Structure 1
Amino acid sequence: MREVAQELNIDHSMVVWHFKQIGKVKKLDKWVPHELTKNQKSHFEMFSFILSNNDEAFLNRILTCNEKWILYDNRDNGRPPAQWLDREAPKHFRKPNSHPKRVMVSVWWFAAGLLHYSFLNPGETITSEMYVQQIDEMHLKLQYLQLALVNRRGPILLHDNT
């Protein structure tokens, strides 16, 4: 649409308006949730409880880690991420591969910001040995970045739901 607006030398909003006038709606190629899941709500409640403590020294000691699978798809099928379609006739796309390619990222952060992140090999997941190794690496990084945190009462490790 931006290319159309540029080609016609008109504002982008005018192109959107004309598409809407002829009954087109913008459909994204992915599902976006609009409500929090029960798990997301429990995380929010836990975070609210921690913040209600209002003890800055306590909050500055929290070190947290989480892992996330990142799906990636390198196919070039020429389809844009969003399309303008008729309201009455939704376009059906073929089912995605039931075994998508994915890679896990491990992220560590604390009150001062991001401490470390690492991408594992495709399909590889965190093992107990790898987790212990990452904890040791984070302790060394904290000694360099936040020595006072390590020397005093020590960091508080908050991991996932534990």
Structure 2
Amino acid sequence: MSTVELFNLTTLPRQSAALYSTSRDNIKFHVPRDKIDFQFSRSSGPGGQNVNKVNTKVEARFNVNQADWLSDHCKDMLYSNYRNNINSAGEFVINSSKYREQKLNLHDCIEKLERILLKSSIIPKERLPTDVPTYAQERRKKDKMFRSDIKAGRGKVFMNDSSE
């Protein structure tokens, strides 16, 4: 199965975010940078005096309902799986303060967003119902009999009065 079969590209508009791949394991989701609002603020954590002077923390946000570059399936998955990242205004918010440099935090924030959107874009395959194989049924019955024998031996022990 090719990587394109994993995604429902027919629901995405032509100018939307593109899913592209160089190999089967290296799938990326392109996020249009002009559609994302980035805000910078002072980061917490180590850094000495630098923490109080430089705005290194990056916060990326976009309105999920107005994101015409996302498929409806992706929006639904964002609402169901990442509802803690969506505020009351319907904006998806993600931040990064992992590094001491703004540029690295910006790159990290975009990577996080791409990873989340890629996860949300994948449409799971429908499971085809199958019968339980005979060997599995036999193994289950054998295990049940074994457990039954163990539990049967746990009963009360009665003293035999006829031995006197």
TM-score (norm 1): 0.21
**Which structure's residues are more often helix, by fraction?**
2
Q: Which structure would you say has the larger RCO, counting Cα contacts within 8 Å and 6 or more residues apart?
A: 1
TM-score (norm 2): 0.20
